[in-house]
């Protein structure tokens, strides 16, 4: 059908109706087009408005993010500054702690030097008395012009023996107090015996029996002088307890043995043990049960530091059947002498 069908002369009436229908359709189409245009225009406006809002929001958020970024950078710089200060503070405190530890070591060493001087006096008294008696006898013989070659020879040999003993004592104490700290690989029992050489004479004069029970010959790689320092502290502690409680037949037993992958040393006395109420405080600095000025309260504290921090072992205390038992143990992993590598790893 032609678009202009209503112009057909044969059907004027019909074409007029069709024309009107067409007009109505066109109006409807125009109305729809106008309505769609309005909707599109309104949608465009809304989209532009949303776009503006989003742009504004994005700009605000971007600005906020930039501010947050700047704030974060500022906080990061502050944190870095605080970390640097904290590291400096930690280093400063560590240095103070090291200095304090050195000071405590010096105090403990000076206290022990006083004890050592007393021990040297005990060690030297008998040889010096013997030398004095021998020289007096020889002088008397000279004065009486009663020269006996054999007597003089025996006396000079005896004097030489005692002088050698005095010289050996000096070497023992000098080795103990030498400043250089070098690790050595030594048999564990030998360290014990070297320590006892310094105190045996003094303990004998006080009628204290020392019994050693060496059940192993394990070698450890450590600072022997520091272990000796601890042994002397523990023996001195036992001696004070035995004398303070006036124990009949006072004894100190020192055992060395190996158990699994560790070597052990036990120092036990028969002084009755430690009160449970003070057992946990016994390794605290400046804690002492001694009423006189001899007690510095540093001996056991320094012993713990030496064993655990310097020699990488452990120390503990308990009460045995007759008295206190101090137990030291050091790792000897799997092979004899393997703790050299273990100690090096730890250090």
Q: Can you give the pLDDT at residue 287?
A: 73
Q: If you average pLDDT over residues 7-27, what whole number do you get?
A: 67
pLDDT score for 45: 82
Residues 6+ apart with CB under 8 A from 104: 285, 298, 301, 302
Beta bridge partners of 266: 255, 327
Q: 270, 247 in Cβ contact below 8 A?
A: yes
Nearest to 326 by CA among 213, 230, 214: 230
41-65 pLDDT, tens per residue? 888 888 888 788 888 888 888 888 8
45, part of any domain: no
pLDDT in tens, 178-231: 655 678 888 889 989 988 888 888 888 889 999 999 988 888 888 888 888 889
Query: pLDDT tens digits for 112-130?
Result: 666 667 666 666 777 777 7
The mean predicted confidence, pLDDT, of the chain is 78
Distances (CA, A) of 256 to 187, 188, 247, 260, 297: 11, 8, 25, 13, 27
At 40 the pLDDT is 79
Q: What is the pTM of this model?
A: 0.57
User: Does residue 36 belong to any structural domain of this protein?
Assistant: no
Determine the structural domain holding residue 323 and report its residue range.
182-347
Q: Quick: pLDDT tens for 179-194.
A: 556 788 888 899 899 8
Give the span between the Cα atoms of 197 and 288, in whole angstroms.
27
Q: Is the pLDDT of residue 142 over 70?
A: yes
Q: Is residue 13 part of a domain?
A: no
The residue among 307 and 172 whose pLDDT is bigger is 307
- Whether the CA torsion 64, 65, 67, 71 is positive or negative: it is positive
Task: Give residue for tokens 């710089």.
Answer: 77
Q: Which residues of 91-101 are buried (b: 16+ CB within 10 A; e: fewer)?
A: eeeeeeeeeee
For residue 75, being part of any structural domain is answered with no
pLDDT of residue 344: 47
- C-alpha closest to that of 310 among 230, 198, 218, 231: 230
Residue 193: exposure state from Cβ atoms within 10 A (0-12, 13-18, ≥19): middle
- Place 252 in a pLDDT band, splitting at 50, 70 and 90: very high
Residue range 20-34: average pLDDT? Answer: 81
First to last CA, the chain: 107
> CB of 201 within 8 A of CB of 123?
yes
Q: How large a percentage of the chain has pLDDT more than 70?
A: 78
Residue 285 maps to a domain: yes
Residue 43 lies in a domain: no
- How confident is the model at residue 311, as a pLDDT? 80
Q: How many domains does the chain have?
A: 1
251 exposure class (CB count in 10 Å sphere: 0-12, 13-18, 19+): middle
Q: Are 208 and 250 in contact (CB under 8 A)?
A: yes
Is 218 a member of any domain?
A: yes
Decide if 100 is inside a domain: no
Contacts of 327 (CB under 8 A, 6+ apart): 264, 265, 266, 315, 316, 317, 318
Task: Give me the pLDDT at residue 254, please.
Answer: 95
Q: Say which CATH number the domain at 287 has.
A: 3.30.565.10
């Amino acid at each position: 059908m032609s678009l202009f069908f209503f112009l057909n002369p044969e059907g004027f009436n019909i074409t007029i109706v069709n024309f009107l229908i067409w007009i109505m359709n066109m109006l409807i189409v125009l109305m729809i087009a106008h309505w769609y245009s309005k909707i599109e225009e309104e949608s465009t406006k809304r989209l532009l408005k949303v776009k503006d809002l989003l742009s504004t929001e994005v700009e605000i958020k971007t600005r906020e993010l930039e501010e947050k970024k700047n704030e974060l950078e500022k906080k990061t710089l502050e944190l870095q500054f605080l970390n640097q200060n904290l590291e400096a503070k930690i280093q400063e405190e560590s240095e103070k702690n090291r200095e304090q530890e050195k000071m405590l070591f010096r105090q403990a060493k000076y206290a022990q030097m006083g004890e050592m001087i007393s021990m040297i006096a005990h060690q030297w008294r008998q040889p010096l008395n013997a030398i004095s008696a021998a020289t007096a006898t020889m002088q008397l013989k000279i004065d009486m012009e009663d020269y006996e070659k054999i007597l003089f020879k025996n006396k000079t040999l005896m004097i030489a023996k005692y002088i050698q003993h005095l010289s050996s004592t000096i070497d023992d104490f000098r080795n103990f107090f030498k400043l250089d700290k070098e690790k050595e690989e030594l048999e564990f029992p030998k360290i014990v015996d070297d320590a006892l050489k310094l105190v045996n004479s003094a303990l004998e004069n006080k009628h204290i029996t020392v019994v050693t029970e060496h059940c192993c010959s394990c070698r450890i790689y450590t600072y022997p002088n520091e272990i000796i320092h601890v042994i002397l502290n523990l023996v001195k502690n036992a001696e004070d307890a035995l004398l303070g409680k006036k124990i009949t037949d006072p004894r100190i037993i020192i055992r060395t043995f190996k158990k699994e992958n560790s070597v052990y040393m036990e120092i036990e006395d028969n002084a009755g043990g430690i009160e449970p109420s003070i057992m946990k405080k016994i390794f605290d600095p400046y804690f002492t049960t001694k009423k006189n000025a001899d007690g510095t309260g540093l001996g056991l504290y320094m012993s713990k530091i030496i064993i655990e921090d310097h020699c990488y072992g452990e120390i503990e205390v308990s009460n045995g059947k007759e008295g206190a038992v101090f137990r030291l143990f050091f790792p000897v992993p799997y092979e004899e002498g393997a703790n050299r590598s273990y100690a090096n790893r730890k250090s």
